[in-house]
Chain A
């Protein structure tokens, strides 16, 4: 019903626009450094996912035709994403935006059961609102007389006041794609799809449209009142999704909440729009993509090989699947702790928001509290999942990595290599990769250099030596810890006060899901505030 209404609205709006538009001269695809950055992310990560899904979908209980159908939609989705990040004309942008919505609808509904269809429809109508917002933006550009409906043209007019409304509408479209509250439901519902789809939606495609769009618009959005509302909204989402995640048991849902939170952080970095934050945003986009992809593919392995989806079932994983458990531990660490990329993004964000707080006093202070609190809640969340992952008895001190299908092992190993390579190559990535992209986005040169064992990004200083030592202490030590064996040491059983009792483990939960309606309400209020402020100015 809702879907039908929205489709009708979109159809009318686009017909109206087509009728009133002179034919645009060229097929406007523009490939700049940001597009190239996205190409690399989309194609490498999605390529790995595609290889993984060859095996995954083969084990799915469905007909041969459906399997081929699944793979072709997957590849089509990746192709559309590539076109989307390179389109400059907003009409094409709208087309590809809606095609990704359609593709994700088809993929989420793939299993054809009731929940799948219901959740797929949710995803469809929510993202259609985003599409409608883009059409609205095109409408406003046309009728405020800004000429061409291209993103680059919009950015050229960024100083005029009437451009604010289209900017707001485009940001709303981005925030919906990025599953920010109150639109987070579609991403959480998307979990019913086969796991490669979740991996695709979360890491390299779909939700990454959000930070991409915001980064594109960031020179125009910067310092507008809308920007401050978006910063407020995203910092709220960061903390709120962390708190809601504490009540979750489903492994993929926990990952989904952490995606929403990190997306909020990326969007915030894009909106703030200083060189350091743009680089932080790019770092987060890249490393979040790799880490999340690896975590989701492992969730797929757990489903297929070990047959469980809930975290509470995972407490034997360290004994039955030490490799999966080790890799998952890595993945979670890489979202939180030094020396990994996601940590660097968070670090940059705290320090730059700190620097900005001197302008926007109370908002700035609140944003910092939200980031600090959300970050701490996430560490609690990750640790409780890790706790179930790595528990084992001392009976089997010598263990072997489990054998899995080469499709699984190769894809996961290549992602692992990307994460580690990313950490070790960070100085070069910063100067040779993120910094040119950032200066292209902002149209100013961004000064990054390596000096005295530190990477300097504008005023930020990123010391290399502590990061290297952290690398030795954290990921390396955990990997060694799995293999190390102490000789001439006696083994004992765990202490249970001398009693012989049976017990099982479970993680701690907080019943925070009761808060969801209130959090959604705050989200809706903030979205409404955006539209109202934009129409008043």
Chain B
């Protein structure tokens, strides 16, 4: 039964992601006292995109975009099915790698800038994710996410600082303001996404939804043994991210790097130390 729910979740992930994105756009609009688009707007966008004239720079570029989406979906599947956290982090890294490669594969200015910035943002969040994974291991005794689901207490109470560290890097990962340098529409016109269009942009667009689902699943893990707690954490993170996105201005990539290495990384490190001490005590 449990397994069926998980598999259904994985298969429906793009649809759920689309809905989340729809809700997100309404929430953001309401925060700005606008009405915002209808809930199903992301899906209308998809319909519109499929109908557009097909244009590509070259086939490799378009193809890598599609593989990026597929590999992200796969990383999500491994995460939800209870795979090894380190493996999941690296699978996610390889899907990002494909996007970066796609960005670099054209000779487009903005695409290159975006790919550069995406590569730098890997430096800002990957070490922290690994530290969080090791702290989780200290608590549950296993790197597998399956063990978190069956862990007696919610991880949030055991590892509050890890949750804080995760919240600090989520805006980077999801390209939300103030850390949306990798996308920065007003500055580098969407970065890596720029050269995708029509049905091929559709793949990258869906990948964005999947990334949201991936991140919120990570948040959910902190309350995984109690669905109500898990869902409220996800809701809290959702409101936090959108409020932050609405209320802050973009920082430069150097400021982002400095923030991550001097604030988020120490938080994750202290959390790791505390969990090691707890483990031995």
Chain B proximity mask over A322-348: 1 for CB below 8 Å, otherwise 0: 000000010001001110000100010
The answer to whether residues A361 and B91 also contact, given A391-B112, A481-B63 and a CB cut-off of 8 A, is no
B93 within 8 Å of A (CB atoms) = yes
A488 CA / B198 CA spacing, docked (Å): 13
CB proximity of A269 to chain B, nearest CB, Å: 16
Cα–Cα distance between A492 and B195 once the two chains are bound (Å): 9
Q: In the complex, what residue of chain B is closest to A378 when comparing beta carbons? A: B123
Interface residues of B in 60-84 (CB under 8 A from A): 60-64, 67, 70-71, 74, 78, 83-84
For residues 3 through 17 of chain B, which have their beta carbon under 8 Å from a beta carbon of chain A?
A: none
Chain B residues lying within 8 Å of A383, measured Cβ to Cβ, are: 97, 100-101, 104, 115, 119, 122
Interchain CB contact under 8 A, B57 and A494: yes
Known: A376-B126, A383-B100, A390-B101. A361 touches B277 (CB 8 A): yes
With beta carbons under 8 angstroms apart, the residue of B57, B100, B272 that contacts A491 is B57
Task: Tell me if A489 and B94 are in contact (CB < 8 A).
Answer: no
* B118 (CB) vs chain A CBs: closest residue: A383
> Interface stretch among A225-233, A350-358, A441-449?
A350-358
Whole-angstrom distance from the CB of A364 to the nearest CB of chain B? 7
Contact partner of A338 (CB less than 8 A), chosen from B63, B94, B123, is: B94
A463, B87: Cβ atoms closer than 8 Å: yes
Q: Report whether over half of chain A's contact residues are helix, strand or loop; otherwise say mixed.
A: helix
Contact B123–A494 (Cβ < 8 Å): no
Query: Does A3 have its Cβ within 8 Å of any Cβ on chain B?
Result: no
A466 contacts B119, C-beta separation under 8 Å: no
B56 to chain A, nearest CB (A): 5
Q: Is the CB of B106 within 8 A of A474?
A: no
Chain A residues with Cβ below 8 Å from B53 are 490
B107/A372 in contact, CB under 8 A: no
Q: Which of B67, B70, B97, B189 contacts A481 (CB 8 A)?
A: B67
Interface size of B as a range: 35 or more
Chain B, residues 81-99, CB within 8 Å of chain A (1/0): the string is 0011011001101110110
Q: What is the interface of chain A, defined by CB distance below 8 A to chain B? A: 318, 329, 333, 336-338, 343, 347, 350-351, 354-355, 357-359, 361-362, 364-365, 368-369, 371-373, 375-377, 379-380, 383-384, 386-388, 390-394, 397, 461, 463, 466, 469-470, 473-474, 477-478, 480-482, 484-486, 488-497, 503, 505, 507-508
Q: Which residue in B59, B112, B131, B138 is a CB contact (below 8 Å) of A397?
A: B59
Tell which of B54, B95, B104, B110 touches A390, judged by Cβ atoms closer than 8 Å: B104
Separation of A379 and B109 alpha carbons in the complex (Å) = 22
Give the docked Cα–Cα distance between A474 and B54 (Å). 26
With a cutoff of 8 Å between Cβ atoms, the chain A residues found around residue B61 in the complex are: 394
Chain A residues in 8 Å Cβ range of B74:
466, 469-470, 473
Residue pair A387, B107 in contact (C-beta under 8 Å): no
Q: Is B209 an interface residue (CB 8 A)?
A: no
Indicate if the CB atoms of A492 and B269 lie closer than 8 Å. Answer: no
- State whether A354 touches B87 (Cβ < 8 A): no
CB-CB under 8 A from A485, the residues of chain B are 59
Q: Which of B55, B67, B84, B194 lies in contact with A490, CB distance below 8 A?
A: B55
| Minimum CB distance partner of A350 in chain B | B86
Closest partner residue, chain A, to B279 (CB atom):
A358
In the bound complex, what is the Cα–Cα distance between A354 and B86 (angstroms)? 11
Known: A383-B119, A393-B58. A461 touches B94 (CB 8 A): no
Chain B residues whose C-beta falls within 8 Å of the C-beta of A469 in the assembled complex: 74
Closest to A360 in B: B276
